[in-house]
Structure 1
């Protein structure tokens, strides 16, 4: 062993080889295995990794029929801890998926779960992506980048009763939830009711900050009842303080594969749960990296849970303090851990033990991810850290899976019409009717081209009355370009100085017919110096990119229809989840998004909302403000208003 540039002896930990589970099988024995489990609820976990989600599903009541991944170490771990199949497959390959679907056709699969990698994609490519989804994602040139399509392809052909997909919130936040909306649309076409939630893992007993995106679907009943959230978070003291402590010496080994374990008298409820099924008097994999001499000085002399890297003496820093303000983080006993990620396999400086002068051990990281002590990880220490960091916390998996358990007496594939699909249908019909009348300029459609979209985008932020805006829009109706004559007319009709200033920004493209052409229309916002909100509205009105227009009015409509507070708290996360349920995906998503903008501005106001005139009134479960002057008035189907 040599120290090299790392300042500690370089060593590769021993390789832990794990035997398969007693009830494990291979493909040849799968039929026989199914015979022994013919009365079980069977689940499949795609992109399973070590099996955090599998464990949660199993503890919720299913039997794992198969776990699929491409990582050999993770599959060795999965095969040891679970019955059924552990298959090494590249699901990006359509022929491999064909083989898997054929294999699973022998079984009645009740649940397909998984956490496929989901890179956000550009708005411009969304129509192509939707076409791929409709063709089961079978484009061989695209599958390796978009493995969520492979996941959806398998769900489409296996047709389980229930579906569970887990991912990082960035899957949705990175591209206006386009992937999520497309998946939901496809599942609804197949007869599934769906639910998307952003979930804080700590609220389901996981002792760390970790927010995840959960998509659930079921075809038996539209019911998604989550267990109550915990009232008090499980902190690190409760999670890991019972594990053996170390007197750390610089450059010496820290921990072992197997150590004595003495259960304390005051064992926490969480730790007691983690010890279930573990061998008495023994703890496994309680080991971590050696500690450098300078790190030991930092940990022992300077590091508290409040210390920033920039607070350390300059002589002890190996990294730039301006770029690495949180390079080192000592955790606190009375708090949650920061999120355990796969990065812990490379270094553990984000996870310094609350008191010991070292980074977390494999077992401590596993505990924080809610893997019980009986769960072992194949491979080296780094392999274990990587598997743990990539995993779904089993307690979170258990909470999510429990939501889609079968309900006694409900038939599978009951032919339900999902609620949110009905909401979107009603919203689209209203928008389509409004577009055919005087409100054409508020919506994408045949009459909305670059000149109309640009003028409307500029007027949207003005304080003009709706009738005054309509008069200006009638001037540009049907125009293929903004000519000098049209420009003069709309400036004349602008009733405020602010509106005149806004419209005068069209000047650079006046009489430039080529600038408004189909080929050049996407450059209009840049040439006219549009602000982000103006460009977003311009793009929405052209109807070619199904973006979310995050306005306070639209968020308010979505929150009230959902019965949530997403327009007031966590607007860009929970608020956007509320919004996507109403917007959906597909060719009419832009129309529905524009409709929500109109409803938010015209009816669903912060105070004194015009609830009786709102096209979503029968779907709205939110409580209107107490000063709603119209709360005693309703509308008949023929449009006449009556008092209650």
Structure 2
């Protein structure tokens, strides 16, 4: 057997072929399945299902998966073996395949559509280009067929379930200001769904790892999303895998087997008891991992759970320095030994390539397939089709079933409540009130502080470069009146602006506009995105400029996060506010053509009304919806007449 520079014999594990579930079916037999096994059950569809982590969570919460759809053959073989119903290989990016799926599912009464569509975020440049193609070149604004999140939304529209559950990583929203999430939420609300977007720490619901996920829920029976209380204590790695058999580890030799004897310890953690349900007595499956190189065996031996890869040289002898074969500067965390009494590192699909992030706390090896499955909360009776690497990849890509269960529980039907035709989602009402207030302000003295129906780059540029200066409102109004009727900056207008400037600081800021004086071409609409660079705008100034010319983005700062936090009823300065805070802000901003207007309104509210100290709640358009309303004095609960 070849060994080469890998340091261990090169081998592929055996291929585990799994037979279909006794209650699985095909498209041709689906109607019979609905009349038989599926009769009387609460049915769900899992799109982009992978191996079925979310399906397992739905099952625990009371649903039966009538159909799962994915493009990965190994994952579908796994799903077909572990679940009843359909397991379909389809490319949902193809509208013809969505037509086929709609036809197959037509006889079924689907209560819930779930899934984790790959949500490739738009770059701002990409959105700008799309918007330009729509406006000036006749492109269909709904031409999003190749985007899988759009395919997911399209299937929700076609199936029209009572409830919707979408799961994804938080980072997918941070790169595009949650544009995709806001768009999905807005379109669901147009269809009459109440929605909730929430960041969830999986360990709050029994998952023994650091794992934060973005959950979008929607339902059209009631506007209520009540999560159960988080677990009182974390499930540690010892709770998760401490009962599994110890494996003999000899460098370069095989580690573990497909089938091993399992002896139940006298004291079994509640988590392990849950994982052993339905598992064959006295047997554990797939407790196997990669062979261990001789140099890795020594590194695993000297490491502690807090040892960084860059610190290994201190622990190795002179003769062992070569064991550290990766650059310590480039790979500071290449290896990670887990700790018994802590949470595991997040299990990701990378575990299929190597297990160095998941070194066992005591045994000199990386986690086995079964241990990784346990950390992801797959029960021991759950098998994964294919090779060992296939199994690791499926596990790393999955939604932890216990997290799926917690999210699905929120969407359980309410007794004696049918789907509502006239449901008015709470956050849609909040956004409508915010939009109305913003439009009234825009018609008055705040015309330059909010995106206009026909934005003027010159106006936006002046506001942006002066945004950090302390200027009295009356002086700012005078400055903006000077340029109100102009779309380009002539020399005469520039001199007039400078003359009106009240201080040296304001004049120096306005001087930055000099490169665009008497250059009408540079102020044209098609050149609007070049303005920030030409006048040397700082990042915050550039963001405000883009907002004022109608760009759909989120201004994330202390004041806007404060408004969102107070309306949502959370601590203003909670930890990690740039991710949690953004999600709170998403609910207020929403999507659609008025999203920039609402963002501008939130900026004004945070700056002028919802201040850190002595907020002017009586003038705030959001006071009727604010979670802090019960705390306010009586005289602050009456909205003042909007001021121009």
Report the TM-score when normalising by structure 2: 0.95
Give the CA deviation at 1:38.
2.6
Distance in 1, Cα, partners of 2:641 & 2:495 = 42
Q: Which position in structure 2 is the counterpart of 1:13?
A: 13
Q: Which position in structure 2 is the counterpart of 1:392?
A: 399
Give the CA deviation at 1:27.
0.9
**Where in structure 2 are the equivalents of 1:10-409 lying within 5 Å?**
10-36=10-36, 37-126=38-127, 128=130, 139=143, 143-144=145-146, 146-300=147-301, 302-313=302-313, 314-409=321-416
Q: Which position in structure 2 is the counterpart of 1:428?
A: 435
Change (3 A) 1:138 1:258: farther
> Is the 1:612–1:631 contact (alpha carbons within 8 Å) kept by the matching residues of 2?
no
- Deviations along 1:284-316, one digit per CA (max 9) or x if unpaired, are 00000000111111112x211111111123421
> Is the 1:137–1:149 contact (alpha carbons within 8 Å) kept by the matching residues of 2?
no
**Matched position secondary structure for 2:448:** helix
Distance in 2, Cα, partners of 1:566 & 1:17 = 52
- Deviations along 1:440-479, one digit per CA (max 9) or x if unpaired, are 0111114641111010001111111111111111111021
Distance in 1, Cα, partners of 2:34 & 2:141 = 29
Change (3 A) 1:274 1:156: same
Q: Which position in structure 2 is the counterpart of 1:632?
A: 635
**Where in structure 2 are the equivalents of 1:614-629 lying within 5 Å?**
614-622=620-628
Give the CA deviation at 1:514.
1.6
Give the CA deviation at 1:230.
1.3
Change (3 A) 1:65 1:138: farther
Unmatched tracts of structure 1, length 5 or more:
none
Give the CA deviation at 1:130.
13
**Matched position secondary structure for 1:395:** helix
Change (3 A) 1:33 1:138: farther
**Where in structure 2 are the equivalents of 1:554-593 lying within 5 Å?**
554-593=560-599
Match of 2:546 among 539, 554, 558: 539
Change (3 A) 1:137 1:100: farther
Distance in 2, Cα, partners of 1:542 & 1:170 = 26
Report the TM-score when normalising by structure 1: 0.95
Distance in 2, Cα, partners of 1:97 & 1:244 = 46
Bigger mean CA deviation after superposition, 233-242 or 551-560 = 551-560
- Deviations along 1:403-423, one digit per CA (max 9) or x if unpaired, are 001000111244201111111
**Matched position secondary structure for 1:520:** helix
Distance in 1, Cα, partners of 2:49 & 2:57 = 12
> Is the 1:137–1:150 contact (alpha carbons within 8 Å) kept by the matching residues of 2?
no
- Deviations along 1:326-366, one digit per CA (max 9) or x if unpaired, are 00110000110000001101100000000000000000000
**Matched position secondary structure for 1:539:** helix
> Is the 2:275–2:378 contact (alpha carbons within 8 Å) kept by the matching residues of 1?
yes
Give the CA deviation at 1:535.
0.2
Change (3 A) 1:398 1:118: same
Change (3 A) 1:51 1:73: same
**Matched position secondary structure for 2:217:** strand
Q: Which position in structure 2 is the counterpart of 1:597?
A: 603
> Is the 2:33–2:85 contact (alpha carbons within 8 Å) kept by the matching residues of 1?
yes
> Is the 2:47–2:117 contact (alpha carbons within 8 Å) kept by the matching residues of 1?
yes
**Matched position secondary structure for 1:216:** strand
Q: Which position in structure 2 is the counterpart of 1:526?
A: 533
Distance in 2, Cα, partners of 1:137 & 1:395 = 38
Residue 606 (1) aligns with residue 615 (2): no
**Matched position secondary structure for 2:77:** helix
Distance in 2, Cα, partners of 1:261 & 1:130 = 63
Give the CA deviation at 1:492.
2.3
Instruction: Count residues in correspondence.
Output: 630
Distance in 2, Cα, partners of 1:191 & 1:635 = 30
